Chain A
Amino acid sequence: MRSRTRIARAGRGLLIPLVTVVLAFIAGGFVVLFTGHDPFSTYGAIFDGTGLNWLFPWVTGTARTTAAFNLQQTLVAATPLILTGLSVAFAFRVGLFNIGAQGQYTVGGVMAVWIGSIFPNMNPVLHIVLAIAAAALMGAAWAAIAGWLRAVVGTHEVLSTIMLNWIAIWVATYLFQAGGPLQSTTEAGNPVSNTIVPSAHLPVIWGNPLLQGLSIGIFISLAAAVAFWAIMNRSTLGYEIRAVGHSPDAARGAGISVARSYAVTMAICGVFAGLAAATDVLGWEFQISTGDLTISQVGFLGIAVALLGRNTAIGTVAAALLFGALETGTSVRALNSNVFNPELASQLTLIIEGLVVLLVSTDLIAVRILGLPAKLGLGRPRAGTALDRGVPDEAATAAAVTEGLEGKLEQGV
C-alpha cells in the first residue's frame, strides 16, 4: 500500500514533465516545418550534435571522435545548469523564488577567478579547494543578503534578488574593465580578468584539456545534487524547510523559525550558484571578460531547469542534461549546417525552452492531455511544486524567465 502510493506519486511526477517536453518538441517540429525544413532530419541532426550518438556502438571512426567531443560539450554545459537549477529549486522548496542565481553565479565567478589567479605556486589540491570554497562562500553571502532582507525586513526576494543581480554584474564589470582593480595585468587594453594559473585548473577527465574537455566539475554538480537530496529529505534542516515551504503558519506554530529558515535556505542556494561559477571558471573558462558577465544566462536558465525538474534533485539533474544537450546540439559548432541552419537552430532551442517553461508552469495542459482526473488533484495542496503553493506567483515566474530568454536572444544573433 505504502510503496504503491509512493510509486504512483513518483510516476505522476515523472510523467508530466515528460509529456511537457514531448509536446514542446512537437511544437518545435512545426516551427521547423514552417521554415521549410524537415523536422525529422533536423531533430536527427540536433541529436547527433548533442553527442548522444556516442552511446551507440555502431558509431565509429571520425564520427565517434566528433560525437565524443560533442557529448563532452553537452556535459560541460549541463554542469553549471545542474547547480543553478539546484539553487533555484532549493529556494522553491522553502517557498522563496530565487531569481538571483545569476548574481550569485557572478560574484562566485569573481572570487574563483581572483583566488585562481593570485597564487602562482600553490599545491593544486589546496588551490582548487580554496578557489571553490571562496566561490561558494561568496555566492552564499550574496544570496544571504536577500534571505536576510526577507527574514528581517520582509523585502520580497524577487525584488531583492533581481536588484542584486544587476549590482553583481555591474560591480564585476567595474572590477574587470580597463583600469578596474582586478583587470588583467598582462592584457592591459582588454576588459578581462587575469587568467587562472594551472594549479587551479580542475583536472580534465574526458577529452582534451586544451579543447574544453570535461572536467571533474561534473562530479561537483552531481555531488551537490546528492547533497540537495540528503539535506531536503533526511536532515532536520530540510524538514524545517519543507514545513515552512508548505505552511509558514504551521511551521511557526511548531516552533520553527521561519525567518531563520529563509536566511539559511538562501545562503545554501548561493552555495549552489557559487559552485556553478567555480566549475565554469576553473573547468574551462579560466578567464572572465566583461562581455561574459552580461551575456551569461546560466542563472536564469536555472529557473527553467528547476521548474522542469519539479524542484527535486534528480529532476533538476535530468532537466539540466536536457537543456545542456539542446544548447550543444543546436550550436554552430555541433549542428550539421546542411540539414538545418545553426542560427535558426539556436532560436529553435529558445522556442523549445520557452515552451517547456510555459507548459511546466501551467502544468494543466499536460494533465488534460494525459486525461488525468484534473478535478481530483489540482485543487489540493501537493508536495513538490512550489508554484502550486502560490508563493512565487506566476507573473513573476514569467517575468523572470522572459528576462532570461530575452537576454539570450540578444546574445544569440
Chain B
Amino acid sequence: MTDQPPVLELREITKRFGPVVANDRVDFDLRAGEVHALLGENGAGKSTLMSVLYGLYSPTSGEILVDGRPVRIDSPNDAIDLGIGMVHQHFMFIPVMTITENIVLGSEPVRTGVGHTLGVLDRRTARDRVRELSDRYGLAVDPDARIEDVSVGMQQRVEILRALYRNARILVLDEPTAVLTAQEITELMGVIQRLKADGTAIIFISHKLGEVLEVADRVTVLRRGRSMGTVPRAGATEQSLARMVVGRDVIFRVEKEEATPGDPILEVEDLHVVDDRGLEAVRGATLTVRAGEIVALAGVDGNGQTELVEAITGIRAPVSGRVRVDGADITGRGVRRATEAGVAHIAQDRHRVGLVLPFTLAENLGLRRYRRPPLSRLGWLNLRSFAERAAGLISAFDVRGGGAETPAYALSGGNQQKVCIAREIDSEPRLLVAHQPTRGLDVGAIEFVHSRLIEQRDAGRGVLLVSLESEEVRSLADRILVIYEGRIVAEFPPEASEEELGIAMTGGTVVGA
C-alpha cells in the first residue's frame, strides 16, 4: 500500500455513559477509496462510535485523526468541515421541500447582485449541482420532487447526495440496506463502487454478514463495545465473521423435528381487506393453519401481507370473508376479542406497534394481560404483580440491558424484540402470528427468535410466519404459502427451491401449484 496516512483514524476511543461502557478502547482506520465495514450485534457500540466520529458525542478518551492530524469534533458541523458525511438510518428531511431544497439546506447557493444581498436562493445553480452529482455517481433522483412523495430508496440517495454536496470524502452509511428492497440494494452497491473508484472512503455499518462480505474491503467487528479485530474480506466467511460477532459458533440451519399437525387453529375464508387508502389489498385470501405447524406466508412486500395480518389479529376490520380461531368467529371483532380467542401477534414494527417505547418493560410486558388478575383487580393495577411478572419474563427470555423499570426505548433492537416475544408467548396463545419477527435483528437474536417459534410449534400451537426473507421462510416453515396481489397463489413444501418461490412471488405460474 502507499505511505500516505489513512484518511481517518480512531485511536483507543472510549465512551462511557455512566457505568455503561459503550466503546472500550476501539481502534479503527479508513483509507481513501476503501469500504471498511463495521459489523456487530445491535447494541455492540457501532452507532455510538459513529456518533463520536460525527460530533454527536464527545469521547471519554481517545483521539481522532484526519489525514494523520489530530482533530477535535464537537458538532456535526465540525465533522462536515472535515469532509465527513453521515447517512443516517432514519432520514432527516423536511418532507414538504423538494429534493434540491433539502440537499442544499444549510449551505444554499445565493444569486449574484441584488439577489445576493437579499440572500435569494439560486435554484438553477443548486439544481445543476445536484444533477451533476447524481449523474456522476448514478444516484438517480428527481431534483424537483417533494421528499414526501418519493420512495425510501430515493430518500436514501438524497441523503448520500447531501453528504456529497458538502464535499464529503468520508461517508458513513449507517445500516443503509435495512430500509431498501432487493432491487434498491443492488443499485446502492453500484453507487458504492462508483464512490470508491472516485476515492471516497466509506464506512459501512451493518449486521448482515452476506452484504458485508459482498461490499467491504476490510471488516472490523465490534462486540459489547470492544473491537474483536479487523480482517480483510479475502478469506473471511459468514461462519468466521459470525463467530467474531457473537463469540461462538452460530447455527445457520434451523434444526427441527418433523411437524405433526393437528386440528385447524386458524381458518381464513375468502377474506377481502382494504388498506388505508381504500384500495383492496387482500382479495379473497383463504388459508388454514393447524395446531403444531409453522405456515409461512411468503411474498414480495406490499402484496397484502400487512392487511391480512391486521385482519387476522383484529387491528383492521375486513370488508368480507371469515376469520375463525379454534372454531370461534372473530371476523372484525377487534383486537381484544382476537386475544381472547387465543391470537398472539409479534408485530412487524416493534417501535410503532409492538412496544410503547416510553413505557417500562414491566408496563410493556403487561399490555396483553393488564385487564385481568393478578395484574389488576376491579380496575386497579397491582404494580407488584407487574414487576414480578416482568422479572420472571426478563430472565426467562434473557432480555439484557435493563430491568423491569427500564423504559423500552433504552434497549437494543434485539432485546426489544425479546420483550415483544416474551409478552406474546406468555399469553399462551392458540395461534402465534409472527410478522417479520427477525427484521433488523443480528444473527444471535435471529437464532433466538427462530428457536422460540419452533418451540411454540412443538407445544402444539399454530404459527403463521409472515416473512420477506426466503431463507427464513424455507428453513422454518412446514408449509409455504405464497401471497401475490392479495391472494394465496401457491403452496409449497419447505424443500421448494428459491427459484420456484421467486417465480410464484412475482406472479408467474408454477406447474402443479
Q: Which residues of A come within 8 Å of B, CB atoms?
A: 1-2, 5-6, 234-237, 239, 242-243, 246-247, 249-255, 257, 375-376, 380-383
CB distance from B446 to the nearest CB of A (A): 22
CB <8 Å contact, A253 and B347: yes
Q: Which of B39-47, B355-363, B447-455 is the interface stretch?
A: B355-363
Q: Indicate whether A249 sits within 8 Å of B381 (C-beta atoms), given known contacts A255-B339, A380-B409.
A: no
A381 to B351, CA, bound (A): 11
CB <8 Å contact, A375 and B352: no
Which single residue of chain B is at the shortest CB-CB distance from A6?
A: B405
Identify A246's interface contact among B334, B357, B376, B406, CB under 8 A.
B357
Q: What are the residues of chain A within 8 A of B17 when measuring CB–CB?
A: 376
A251 to B359, CA, bound (A): 11
Q: Indicate whether A250 sits within 8 Å of B352 (C-beta atoms), given known contacts A234-B380, A235-B379, A239-B381.
A: yes
Q: Indicate whether A381 sits within 8 Å of B358 (C-beta atoms), given known contacts A1-B403, A235-B381, A236-B371.
A: yes
CB distance from A379 to the nearest CB of B (A): 9
Q: What are the residues of chain B within 8 A of A375 when measuring CB–CB?
A: 56-57
Identify A237's interface contact among B335, B352, B379, B407, CB under 8 A.
B379
A1 to B19, CA, bound (A): 11
A246 to B383, CA, bound (A): 19
With most chain B CB atoms within 10 A of its CB, the pick from A237, A255, A381 is A255
A234 to B366, CA, bound (A): 13
Q: Which residues of B come within 8 Å of A, CB atoms?
A: 17, 56-57, 313-315, 334-336, 338-339, 345, 347, 349, 352-359, 363, 366-368, 370-371, 376, 379-381, 383, 403-407, 409
Identify A381's interface contact among B371, B381, B409, CB under 8 A.
B409
A235 to B370, CA, bound (A): 10
A and B contact pairs by CB, cutoff 8 A, 14 listed:
A235-B380, A236-B371, A239-B366, A246-B356, A246-B357, A246-B359, A247-B355, A249-B349, A250-B352, A253-B335, A253-B345, A254-B368, A255-B339, A375-B56
A257 to B337, CA, bound (A): 12
CB distance from A144 to the nearest CB of B (A): 20
CB distance from B134 to the nearest CB of A (A): 30
CB <8 Å contact, B336 and A255: yes
CB <8 Å contact, B376 and A5: no
Q: What are the residues of chain A within 8 A of B406 when measuring CB–CB?
A: 5
A254 to B313, CA, bound (A): 10
CB <8 Å contact, B380 and A383: no
A2 to B314, CA, bound (A): 36
A1 to B407, CA, bound (A): 14
A251 to B368, CA, bound (A): 10
Given contacts A255-B338, A382-B358, 20 further A-B contacts (CB under 8 A): A5-B406, A235-B380, A236-B371, A236-B380, A236-B381, A239-B381, A242-B356, A242-B359, A246-B356, A246-B357, A247-B352, A247-B357, A250-B367, A254-B367, A254-B368, A255-B334, A255-B335, A381-B357, A381-B409, A383-B358
A257 to B366, CA, bound (A): 16
Q: What are the residues of chain B within 8 A of A243 when measuring CB–CB?
A: 356, 359, 363, 367
CB <8 Å contact, A383 and B355: no
CB distance from A250 to the nearest CB of B (A): 5
CB distance from B434 to the nearest CB of A (A): 14
CB <8 Å contact, A234 and B409: no
Q: What are the residues of chain B within 8 A of A239 when measuring CB–CB?
A: 363, 366, 370, 381
CB <8 Å contact, B368 and A255: yes
Q: Indicate whether A2 sits within 8 Å of B409 (C-beta atoms), given known contacts A235-B380, A255-B334.
A: no
Which single residue of chain A is at the shortest CB-CB distance from B375?
A: A236
Which single residue of chain B is at the shortest CB-CB distance from A3?
A: B405
CB distance from B375 to the nearest CB of A (A): 9
Which single residue of chain A is at the shortest CB-CB distance from B345?
A: A253
CB <8 Å contact, A253 and B353: yes
Identify A2's interface contact among B315, B349, B380, B405, CB under 8 A.
B405
CB <8 Å contact, A253 and B363: no
CB <8 Å contact, A251 and B57: no
Which single residue of chain A is at the shortest CB-CB distance from B377?
A: A236
CB <8 Å contact, B358 and A250: no
CB <8 Å contact, A246 and B381: no
CB <8 Å contact, B383 and A250: no
Q: What are the residues of chain B within 8 A of A247 when measuring CB–CB?
A: 352, 355-357
CB <8 Å contact, A234 and B358: no
Which single residue of chain A is at the shortest CB-CB distance from B367?
A: A254
Identify B370's interface contact among A236, A246, A250, A383, CB under 8 A.
A236
Which single residue of chain B is at the shortest CB-CB distance from A376?
A: B17
A376 to B403, CA, bound (A): 20
Which single residue of chain A is at the shortest CB-CB distance from B337?
A: A255
A214 to B407, CA, bound (A): 43
CB distance from A308 to the nearest CB of B (A): 21
Q: What are the residues of chain A within 8 A of B336 when measuring CB–CB?
A: 255
CB distance from A11 to the nearest CB of B (A): 15
A243 to B313, CA, bound (A): 19
Identify B405's interface contact among A5, A236, A255, A376, CB under 8 A.
A5
CB <8 Å contact, B409 and A250: no
Q: What are the residues of chain B within 8 A of A380 when measuring CB–CB?
A: 409
Which single residue of chain A is at the shortest CB-CB distance from B51?
A: A375
CB <8 Å contact, A236 and B315: no
Q: Indicate whether A255 sits within 8 Å of B379 (C-beta atoms), given known contacts A242-B359, A381-B357.
A: no
CB distance from A395 to the nearest CB of B (A): 15
Q: What are the residues of chain B within 8 A of A234 when measuring CB–CB?
A: 380-381, 383
Q: What are the residues of chain A within 8 A of B407 when measuring CB–CB?
A: 383
With most chain B CB atoms within 10 A of its CB, the pick from A5, A235, A236, A383 is A236
Q: What are the residues of chain A within 8 A of B347 when measuring CB–CB?
A: 253
A326 to B398, CA, bound (A): 53
A235 to B383, CA, bound (A): 10
CB distance from B149 to the nearest CB of A (A): 22
CB <8 Å contact, B405 and A252: no
CB <8 Å contact, B56 and A250: no
CB distance from B341 to the nearest CB of A (A): 12
Q: What are the residues of chain B within 8 A of A381 when measuring CB–CB?
A: 357-358, 409
Which single residue of chain A is at the shortest CB-CB distance from B383?
A: A234
CB distance from B195 to the nearest CB of A (A): 28
CB distance from B103 to the nearest CB of A (A): 23
Q: What are the residues of chain B within 8 A of A249 when measuring CB–CB?
A: 349, 352-353
A254 to B367, CA, bound (A): 6
A85 to B481, CA, bound (A): 55
A253 to B336, CA, bound (A): 9
Which single residue of chain A is at the shortest CB-CB distance from B369?
A: A254
Q: What are the residues of chain A within 8 A of B354 when measuring CB–CB?
A: 250, 253
A375 to B52, CA, bound (A): 12
A382 to B353, CA, bound (A): 17
Q: What are the residues of chain A within 8 A of B353 when measuring CB–CB?
A: 249-250, 252-253
Q: What are the residues of chain B within 8 A of A235 when measuring CB–CB?
A: 379-381
Q: Indicate whether A250 sits within 8 Å of B379 (C-beta atoms), given known contacts A6-B405, A236-B370, A236-B371.
A: no
CB distance from A184 to the nearest CB of B (A): 44
Which single residue of chain A is at the shortest CB-CB distance from B360?
A: A383
Which single residue of chain B is at the shortest CB-CB distance from A382?
A: B358
A320 to B150, CA, bound (A): 48
With most chain B CB atoms within 10 A of its CB, the pick from A235, A239, A246, A249 is A239
